[in-house]
Every structure is written in structure tokens, then in C-alpha cells.
Amino acid sequence: MLPLWRATRTTGKQCGLTATGDYQPSLRSPWLAAYEKSLLNKRYSDIKYVCFSSADDWEIQLSGVFYPDFSFSGQPLQDLSDFGTDLQLVTFFTAPMQSGWAFVIAWHVSSEPLATHFVSSLALACHNGMRAADALLRFTISCCENHAIRPSWWSNLSETKKELILDSASLMVSPITPVPPHYLAEGLEGIATWDFEHVYTTMAVSS
């Protein structure tokens, strides 16, 4: 449930996102096999997502996968050191839309309910005053190595803001520094120069 966002329940086609290509089954990992099996059988409803759309300048492009360990409020979700358990994951990326661009968090139905809990914690945080653009920039810098930043946007940041971003990225790759539970709950506020006007989701939405 997403009772705290003014979200629209929709489909990928309706919000301007499309996917094409030939898929072959994969045995590389259980979650990848689950995605590909759903795509091969055209069970697109197995893919759940939340899509944030923006008409502002598109300053960061990214694509990644993530095993959520803590929520946007700092609550533990799963133990990444437990190698005996099948971990649940989400994917996230930016993509062009018919108008503007989108930041999408998506997951296979096999990763519920953890993925739903993770996304719902973002909805609750935004309801309590967190800016979605700040939260998703923090998420990007902390959890995604595969991103590209527009050089002109980076150049226009103050040295203080650049240092904050670099410090955040360095913390997450440190082999000796423990990951703080609140790393998605705070930090990098006021740096994102974009906002999100609409939220689309396949999840149940309360009016």
C-alpha cells in the first residue's frame, strides 16, 4: 500500500516506459532467472514498480540492482551477511519519458514483501517531510556505481556539496567502515536541482 503518496496506479505503457528485445533463459542467478521467465512468458504483471517523473533537467543517469538492507527510516530489512538465505532485491534506473524523464524502482514479485516495505518506507519518509529528490539522490550515490553525472551540473556545485557527495560514495565502498543504518534516512539534502511532479505505481494506492 502507498497511502502517503498522491500516486497513480498505472502500467509501464501508460506512463511512457517501454521494453523490447529478445530474452533467453538464464541460469546465472535465481532472481535473474525469475525476471527472464516472467518476460519470456509475457507475465508483465510480475514486475512491480514505482515511477517518479520529472520535467526538470536530467542531470544524472543510472542503472543498478540493490539488495535493500535498511529502509529509508533506518530500520533493518535483511541481513546481507546471511549467505544461507536467498536475498531479495530491487532494480532502479533513470529513463526518458514522453515528456521529461523518470526515476524508477522496480522489482519482481518474488521479492515481495521486502521490496514493498522498502518503497513504502520512502513514501512514509516523504509524507513526514523528506524531499523525494533528496532521498533518491542519496540512494543513487550510496547504492549505485553505474551512474553518469552531467559535467556542467557537477561543475556548478559548490566545493562543499561536491565533498559531501564524494564522502557519501566513499563511505559505502569502504572495506573497514560499517554501513550506518541511517544512510538512506539523511544526508545530501538540498543538492538535487530537480523535483518530481508525479508518481506512478503498480502497487495498490489509497485515495
Residue 35 lies in a domain: yes
Q: Is 56 helix (H, G, I), strand (E, B) or coil?
A: coil
> What CA dihedral angle connects 69, 154, 99 and 46, to 10 degrees?
-20
pTM: 0.84
Residue 128 lies in a domain: yes
Residue 12 lies in a domain: yes
H/E segment holding residue 60: strand 60-66
Residue 2 lies in a domain: no
Residue 1 lies in a domain: no
Span 29-72, pLDDT tens digits: 777 788 889 889 999 999 999 999 999 999 999 999 999 999 99
Span 111-165, pLDDT tens digits: 998 999 999 999 999 999 999 999 999 999 999 989 999 999 999 999 999 999 9
Residue 207 lies in a domain: no
Residue 206 lies in a domain: no
Give the total number of structural domains in the chain: 1
Domain containing residue 150: 8-201
